[in-house]
Chains A and B, each alone.
Chain A
Amino acid sequence: GAVVSQHPSRVICKSGTSVKIECRSLDFQATTMFWYRQFPKKSLMLMATSNEGSKATYEQGVEKDKFLINHASLTLSTLTVTSAHPEDSSFYICSARDDRSGQSSYNEQFFGPGTRLTVL
């Protein structure tokens, strides 16, 4: 149980185009999802917290107009990288919190397999 998928797993695009990454909780509902970015040989950096039915909360320094997040249902959050540039190339990982979790596991997040974005 508690499986999170991401699509696509890998995407290559031209500079100036927009790219959408999907994050789905496959066997549970997730009111809250998270988007992380990971640079090579670095740790995960939280970009934003995605809340179903409301606006995402972005971390300091993350451009909300650049990284559009939509959490339209309890099982799907999308991250759109708008007008992508080579510096946006990175590994993007989403995670989700199971709404059914009791207090003991409230702080657990289930991670997707990641999406490798390369902007040429």
Chain B
Amino acid sequence: AQSVTQPDIHITVSEGASLELRCNYSYGATPYLFWYVQSPGQGLQLLLKYFSGDTLVQGIKGFEAEFKRSQSSFNLRKPSVHWSDAAEYFCAVGAGNQFYFGTGTSLTVIP
């Protein structure tokens, strides 16, 4: 069965520090992978997506993610975090007719 795991429930980083949010998936075929960000009380905003090709994907707001098939991972990174990046982050896999979401990682940014 398809599944998405985000091992880190909550992460705290200092403003200006680098960030990596982990995402592992379980899916038999080539996955369609997504990262979304959600601010409190808001909907989902797509940060980036991977369908095929270059395994390093650039997204909005300075985020990037790398698809590693051998590790079944699609980790999200940002070299320098801004206070406005504090939010909930969801990794998702598109498989067939459905989306499978991870449980989310809550990011806190301290000054």
A-to-B contact residues, CB < 8 Å: 6, 32, 34, 41-44, 46, 49, 91, 93, 95, 104-105, 107-109, 111-114, 116
Contact = CB atoms under 8 A, between A and B. Distances in A.
Given A113-B42, A116-B41, A44 B101 contact: yes
Interface string B74-111: 00000000000000101000111111011110100000
A108 B90 CA distance: 15
Contact of A43 (B46, B98, B103): B103
B44 A108 contact: no
B51 A46 contact: no
Contacts of B104: 41-43
Nearest to B52: A104
What is the predominant secondary structure among interface residues of chain B facing chain A?
strand
B44 A43 contact: no
Interface of B: 32, 34, 36, 41-44, 46, 49, 51-52, 88, 90, 94-99, 101-104, 106
Contacts of B103: 42-43
B99 A46 contact: yes
A107 B94 contact: yes
A72 B50 CA distance: 32
Interchain residue pairs A-B with the least CB separation, the first 6: A107-B94, A113-B43, A107-B32, A114-B43, A111-B44, A43-B101
Nearest to B90: A43
B103 to A, nearest CB: 5
Contacts of B88: 41
A107 B98 CA distance: 7
Nearest to B51: A104
A46 B92 CA distance: 13
Given A43-B90, A43-B103, A93-B43, A108 B97 contact: no
Contacts of A91: 41
Contact of B99 (A104, A109, A112, A113): A109
**Residue among A6, A105, A108 with the highest chain B CB neighbour number at 10 A:** A108
Contacts of A6: 43
